[in-house]
Chains A and B, each alone.
Chain A
Amino acid sequence: MKLLVTGASGFLGKYVIAEAVRHGHDVRAVVRGGSLFQDLQRPVELAQVDLRSSRGLTQAMSGIDAVIHLAAAKSGDLYTQLAGTVVATENLLAAMSEAAVRQIVHISSFAVYDPMRLPSFSLLDEDAALDDPLGDRDEYAITKILQEKLVVDYARKNSWRWTVLRPGMLYGPGNLFNARVGLRMGTGWWLRTGAWARIPLNYVENCAEAILLAVENPQADGQIFNVVDDELPTQRRYARLIARRTVPRPRIFPVSWTIMRLIARSAWLMNRAILGGRAKIPGIFVPSRLHARCKPLRYSNAKIKSVLGWTPRYGLIEALDRSVAVSAPAAGAVQQGYQQSNLVESSGGPA
C-alpha cells in the first residue's frame, strides 16, 4: 500500500514510518519543515506541507491508498491547538475527498474520555462515555474530542474505510515521564499524584505496530480501539522504574489521590460559590482534569487483541530498557535534518 502519514516528524510519527517501511509499504510523510527519514529499507517521500493550510494537500494525496493521521498540536493556547488539530484535520479530510482517498486510520487519545462519569476502579473500555468539548477540560482534550468526531462523521458520511485508535500514555526514548505520574517540580523533584492507579501505558513501538495492523486488516474498518500494553504498572511502580533510569535521579514526593481529589473538589466549589466560576485555577485542581490524569481505573486491550490479533511486542521492562538504550527512534532508523521543497523523494539508505 502507499500510505500518507501526517505528524510524521512527531514522537510517534517516526516509529510509524519505520514500522510502515518494515511492513513493506510505500510511505509519504507529511512534515512541516525539512525532515529526512534515512536508513530505512525503502525510500520515504516527503510532502512538505502545513496542514493548517490546504495548499499542496491535494497534490500530496496523489496515489495514496490510506492515510494515517497522527498530526495534532500539543501545546499553545486553545486557538493554536484548534488550528493545529481541528482545522488541520478539516483540511486533510477535504483533500482526501478531492483526491478520492477512501481509508483513514486516525490516532486519537484517551483524553477524549470523560472519567468523571466512571466510578473509581471501573473499566474504561471503548464504550466509555466521551467528554463534552464545552466542559472545562484542557485545550488538548477539547481539540482531540473535536478532531475525533470530525474524522468519524466525515468518514461515515463519505462511506470511507475508517478506524480510530486511542492509545494510552505513549512512552519511549526521551519520553518516559507523563502526566499520570504527576508533576515535575523543577529539576530533581517529582510530585507523584497518587500511588495505586494503573497507568494505561503504551510503548511507542508497540503502538506503531498496532497502527499498521489497523491499516492492513479489514476487520478494523469502522472500529474504535483502545491501545494499551499488557503490563500496566501502578503510578508508584512506574515512577520508581523511570526514576531509576533518570539522571540525575529525582526525588519523589507522593501526594495521595484522596487528598488531591479533596483539594480539587474544594477549589472547584469555592470557585463556583464565591468567585462565580471565573477564577483560573491550576489544571491539576480542576476535578475533570485531575480525574483524567490520576483516577484509578482499569483498562483493557481485549478488543484490539481479539479483532486485530495485536500483541504488544515489548513488555514494560524491556520497553523501558530500550527507551534508555536507544537514543534515536527505531534503533536509529529515522533521523532529521534535511531541507526539501514540496513533495520530493529522499534517498533510501541501507537497511
Chain B
Amino acid sequence: MSQPTTQTVLKAAAIGTGKISEEHLRFLRGSRRARLVGVCDLSPAMADFAARRFNADAAYTDYAKMLADARPDVVHVLTPAATHPRLVNDCLCGGAHVIVEKPVAPTHGQFQTLWSLAESKQRRLVEDHNYRFNPPVLAIERLLAEGKLGEICEVDVRMSLSICAPGGRYADTHLPHSSHKLPCGVLHEFITHLCYLALRFIPSVDRVAARWSKHGNEPLFKYDDLDALIFSGPVHGRIRFTSHSGPECFALTVRGTRGWAQTDLFQPHLRVVVPRGGQQLSGVMNQIAGGWELTRAGVAGFWNKVMQNTAYAGLHTFLSQTYEALCQGAEPPVSFTDMDRASRLIDALLDERNRL
C-alpha cells in the first residue's frame, strides 16, 4: 500500500457499475490523486463496459480477485445497501480504505462493527454524504458561521420524490428493488441524506418522534412517507419525505434568530432573508433580493442542465477532499462522528418507542 505523501496517487477500484458509479468513476477518471486500477461487477459486460468507458486498468467479476490482483489503496463500494457490510468488511480486511455509498450499513450496530474493524486495520471508512458539499449547503453554513442568520432555531429538510410512480425503478413489480427489504424500505435509499443534512445544523439530539406511513396502495412498499421531529434544546428540526406531493424537491430551510435561508438541491438556488436596509425597507429589500436570486438561479439552472451539472455536484467535492485527506493522512471530510450520528438518528427514527 502507498504511504501518504503530497505526491501520492492512490490506486482506486470500484465495486458496482450501476447508475451511482457513473459519478464516482467520472471523478476517478479525472482525478490527479487516483488511478483507476479496477472495476468489478457481477455482469462481465457491465464491468468491461465501465472499464473501457472510464479507462480502468482491468475489469473483474470477482471482487476478491480484484482486491488480490490490483491491490487497490481505496475501494468505492457502490452496490445495493444490503451488500455493504460484507463488501466493506472484505475490502477493509484486504487492506483498502473504503468509500461507501450511503448507508454504510442498514443498522447502527452493523456500522459500529465495520468502524471497529476499520480502526483495527488502520484504514479509513468514509460514507458518501455528498449533498453536504453542494454549494448552497456550504453557503448556508457560511451564513451561520458569519452570524448572519443568528442562532439556529429551526431546521427543515424535505424531500419529495415520486418513488411509487408506475414504471419507476422502485415500483417495478417484475424485479423488485433490493431496498424494499431494508429497515426503512425504499426510504432507506434517501434517509441518510435527510439525516446528515439535518444533523449538520442540529448540535445534539434530545428526542425524536417519527411517523412512518404508507399512503399509497402499492404492495411492494413498506413506507412511502415519513414525518419526523427532532428536538435539541431550543432547536427544532423536521425531516419530511413524501412520495405524493409534487414537484420533486430536496429542500433545506434553516431559520435563525436573525433570518432564514432556503435552498432546493434539485433546483439549486439560495434564498436568504435577513435584516436589509433598515427596519422599514427590510421586507421590500428582501423581496427584491429574493427575486433577483430566483431569476439568477433560473438562468443558472438552465445552464447547468445544458452542461450536465447535476445534483451530484457535491459528490465531486466530497471525493476530492476525501482523496486529499487520504493522501495527506488527514481526517476525511466526513468523520466518524458525522456517520455515527446519522446512523444513530436513523435507528432512533425507526425505534418503536419513538413512533407517532
Q: How large is the interface on B (under 10, 10 to 19, 20 to 34, 35 or more residues)?
A: 10 to 19
Interface residues of B in 287-325 (CB under 8 A from A): 305-308
Question: Which A residues are in CB contact (< 8 Å) with B45?
Answer: 86-87, 89-90, 146, 150
Whether B174 and A33, one on each chain, are in contact in the complex, defined by CB atoms closer than 8 angstroms, is: yes
Task: Answer yes or no: B44 CB below 8 A from chain A CBs.
Answer: yes
Is A345 in the interface zone, CB < 8 Å from B?
Answer: no
**Chain A min CB distance to B247 (Å):** 19
Residue of chain B at shortest CB distance from A87: B43
Point out the residues of chain B lying under 8 angstroms from A82, CB to CB: 46, 49
Instruction: Contact check, B307 vs A279: say whether CB atoms are below 8 A apart.
Output: yes
Which A13-70 residues sit within 8 Å CB-CB of chain B?
A: 32-33, 50, 52-53
Q: For the complex, what is the distance from the CA of A169 to the CA of B305, rounded to whole Å?
A: 31
A120 close to B (CB within 8 Å): no
Q: What CA separation (Å) do A255 and B274 show in the bound complex?
A: 53
Shortest C-beta distance, A81 to chain B (Å), equals: 11
Across-interface contacts of B19 in A (CB, < 8 A): 77, 79
Give the docked Cα–Cα distance between A134 and B53 (Å).
6
Within 8 Å CB of B53, what residues of A?
Answer: 134
A-facing residues in B148-192 (Cβ within 8 Å): 169, 173-175
Task: Tell me the complex Cα distance, A87–B43, Å.
Answer: 7
A150, B46: Cα distance in complex, Å: 11
Nearest-CB residue, chain A, relative to B20: A79
Closest Cβ neighbor of B49 among chain A residues: A146
Contact indicator per residue, chain A 257-282, by CB within 8 Å of chain B (1) or not (0): 00000000000000000010011110
Given contacts A86-B43, A87-B46, A146-B49, contact A50 B174 (CB under 8 A): yes
Give CA–CA (A33, B53) in the complex, Å. 34
Distance in angstroms from B309 CB to nearest chain A CB is: 9
Assess whether A327 is interfacial by the CB under 8 Å rule.
no
Q: Does A233 contact B (CB under 8 A)?
A: no
CA distance in complex: A133, B308 (Å) = 20
Interchain CA distance A299-B242 in the complex, whole Å:
53
Write out the residue numbers on chain B whose beta carbons fall within 8 Å of the beta carbon of A86.
43, 45-46, 49
Q: Which residues of B contact A50 (CB under 8 A)?
A: 174-175
Do A52 and B175 touch (CB < 8 A)?
yes
Rounded to whole angstroms, the CA-CA distance of A50 and B43 in the bound complex is: 16
On whether the beta carbons of A280 and B46 are closer than 8 Å, the reply is no
A219 interfacial contact with B, CB 8 Å = no
Inter-chain contact A90/B43, CB cutoff 8 Å? yes
Q: What's the Cα separation between A320 and B307 when bound, in Å?
A: 42
Chain A positions 64 through 106: 1 when the CB is less than 8 Å from some CB of chain B, otherwise 0: 0000000000000101101000110110000000000000000
| B52 CB within 8 Å of chain A | yes
**In the complex, residue of chain B having the shortest beta-carbon distance to the beta carbon of A142:** B49
Give the chain B neighbours of A80 by CB distance below 8 A. 169
Query: Given A79-B19, A90-B45, A150-B45, A278–B308 Cβ distance below 8 Å?
Result: yes
Residue from the list A33, A52, A53, A133 in contact with B49, Cβ < 8 A: A133
* Closest-CB distance, B337 to chain A (whole angstroms): 34
Given contacts A79-B18, A90-B44, A90-B45, contact A279 B306 (CB under 8 A): yes
A53 touches B18 (CB 8 A): no
Give Cα A53 to B49, complex, Å: 19
Closest to B306 in A: A279
Residue of A nearest to B43 (CB): A87
Q: Which residues in window 274-311 of A have CB below 8 A to B?
A: 275, 278-281
Contact A280 B43 (CB under 8 A): no
In the docked arrangement, what's the CA distance between A32 and B44, Å?
24
27 sampled A-B residue pairs with Cβ under 8 A = A32-B174, A33-B174, A50-B175, A52-B174, A52-B175, A53-B175, A77-B19, A79-B18, A79-B19, A79-B22, A82-B49, A86-B45, A87-B45, A87-B46, A90-B43, A90-B45, A133-B49, A134-B53, A146-B45, A150-B45, A278-B307, A279-B306, A279-B307, A279-B308, A280-B306, A280-B307, A281-B306
Given contacts A90-B44, A146-B49, A278-B307, 8 further A-B contacts (CB under 8 A): A32-B174, A33-B174, A79-B19, A86-B45, A90-B43, A133-B49, A278-B308, A279-B307
The 4 tightest CB contacts between A and B, nearest first, are A79-B19, A32-B174, A50-B174, A50-B175
